[in-house]
Structure 1
Amino acid sequence: MAKKIELNGVELFLLPQKVVYIPIHELLIVSDWHIGKLGHFRKAGVFVPPMQLEEEFARLDILLNALTIKQVVFLGDLFHSEWNYEWDEFQLFLNRFPAIRFILTRGNHDILPEAVLAKSIIQVKDYILLPEGIVLSHEPIVQLDAGLYNLVGHLHPGCEVAMQGRQYYKLPCFHLEKKVLTLPAFGRWTGLFILPKRQDNRLFAVVGNDVVELK
């Protein structure tokens, strides 16, 4: 089950698929997919399995067909590094959705040449400002104007959840602190940066098919 929160009067849904959906804008926000990461490692001679691309793309395909979506914003680190064939396969996938606008807020791993990006249907921007005062960017914007909220990625946030038998599970999470909401990585080969629960932050753990706020 998704978790609904409100920022500047706008309803946002934190989905267990590790994305954010904003119904008023028919907008899906996806962060840190790192497509091409396994292909990049394989080119470098690192023994890792090839990424199952259709299985990866199917995770987004399900969301695009289940929700009313006019645009998708990738919050950076969409493609892991230099070009490999996985980028071309991704473009073919995106072309299945001509009615949807795809935008990338550039991240530190988004280093594909401009000539390659120019051939894609993806628009590349530094950040996006929604009319209600919500800014979308890869990393937090320094000295954010008062009244604005910032949705970001980059960190791959995770948390530790205590279970029965003194067991602890490390899970991806959404992290809200002050005016910054950090999304978990959509990619499955990214690792977690574990964040502690404190009085001045909110953690929303992805637990199976649910998003649960930690107390």
Structure 2
Amino acid sequence: MAKKIVLNGLDCFLLPQKVLYIPFYHLLVLSDWHLGKMKHFRKEGLFVPPVEVEEEISRLELLFQELTVERVILLGDLFHSDWNEDWTAFALFTHRYPNISFLLTRGNHDILVDAHWAEARLQIIPQYILAEGLLFSHEPVADLPAYMFNIVGHLHPGCVVRGKGRQQFRLPCFHLKNNVLTLPAYGKWTGLHILPKEDNARFFSVIYDEVVEIKEFF
């Protein structure tokens, strides 16, 4: 179940697939996929669990079937490092949807050459702005005007919540503080950066197939 928040009068839905959906613009936003990460580590001789990129692609394709999507914004760190075969799978995916435009606000891990971006139908942009004053970028923009909201990635935000007894869980979350909304990392094996509880911050955690606002922390 999605969680609706309103930013500058615009309905925005935080989805349990760890993406943001804005129906008025038929816009889907995700961040920090880190495609190719596991293959990169295996190439370096590290033992890591197998990750099928098709599984993460399928999650998006299911959303394309359920929602009206005309544009996808990828908020940086789409690909983890140098090229490997996962990029071919991603390029095939984007070409299956010629009526959807794919935009990338480049992150610090996005080091592929321009030919690879073009191969996957990706338009590279520094940031993207909606008329309502929502600005999309990989990292927070300095000196953001007070009337704007900045939608970002980069941090891989997470929080620690209570379970029954003495259980505690580290969970990915959407993090809203002042006028900055940070999206959780879309990729499965990206790690979490646990953020502290603050009076002026809201945490929306992904718990199975639901997004829940968390108000009790350790």
Shorter-chain TM-score bucket reads over 0.9
Give the Å deviation of 1:195.
Answer: 1.1
TM-score (norm 1): 0.97
- Alpha-carbon distance between aligned partners in 2 of 1:62 and 1:149, rounded to the nearest angstrom: 28
- Alpha-carbon distance between aligned partners in 1 of 2:25 and 2:39, rounded to the nearest angstrom: 34
2:119 paired residue number: 119
1:84 paired residue number: 84
- Alpha-carbon distance between aligned partners in 2 of 1:187 and 1:118, rounded to the nearest angstrom: 22
2:172 paired residue number: 172
Give the Å deviation of 1:114.
Answer: 1.8
In structure 2, give the amino acid aligned to 1:147: Y
- Alpha-carbon distance between aligned partners in 1 of 2:86 and 2:108, rounded to the nearest angstrom: 19
2:36 paired residue number: 36
> How much is the aligned-residue C-alpha RMSD, in angstroms?
1.0
Pair 1:58 & 2:58 matched: yes
Report runs of 4+ in structure 1 exceeding 4 Å deviation. Answer: none
**Contact residue 173 and residue 183 of structure 1 kept, 8 A:** yes
Alignment of 1:2-151 (within 5 A): 2-151=2-151
**Contact residue 95 and residue 120 of structure 2 kept, 8 A:** no
Q: Give unmatched runs, 5+ long, in structure 1.
A: none
- Alpha-carbon distance between aligned partners in 2 of 1:114 and 1:122, rounded to the nearest angstrom: 9
- Alpha-carbon distance between aligned partners in 2 of 1:136 and 1:122, rounded to the nearest angstrom: 16
- Alpha-carbon distance between aligned partners in 2 of 1:142 and 1:198, rounded to the nearest angstrom: 21
Give the Å deviation of 1:50.
Answer: 3.7
Identity of aligned residues (%): 57
Q: Secondary structure at the match of 2:55?
A: helix
**Contact residue 152 and residue 182 of structure 1 kept, 8 A:** yes
What is the number of residues matched between the two proteins?
A: 215
- Alpha-carbon distance between aligned partners in 1 of 2:56 and 2:70, rounded to the nearest angstrom: 21
- Alpha-carbon distance between aligned partners in 1 of 2:34 and 2:212, rounded to the nearest angstrom: 25
**Contact residue 104 and residue 125 of structure 1 kept, 8 A:** yes
Give the Å deviation of 1:120.
Answer: 2.7
Superposed CA offset, 1:182-215 (max 9, x none) = 0000001101001122211000011111111112
Superposed CA offset, 1:127-168 (max 9, x none) = 001111000000000111120100000000000111110211
- Alpha-carbon distance between aligned partners in 1 of 2:203 and 2:21, rounded to the nearest angstrom: 17
Give the Å deviation of 1:56.
Answer: 1.9
- Alpha-carbon distance between aligned partners in 2 of 1:146 and 1:54, rounded to the nearest angstrom: 40
Superposed CA offset, 1:98-130 (max 9, x none) = 110111110110010123223330111110011
Q: Secondary structure at the match of 2:165?
A: helix
Q: Secondary structure at the match of 1:146?
A: coil
- Alpha-carbon distance between aligned partners in 2 of 1:135 and 1:110, rounded to the nearest angstrom: 20
Q: Give unmatched runs, 5+ long, in structure 2.
A: none
**Contact residue 73 and residue 104 of structure 1 kept, 8 A:** yes
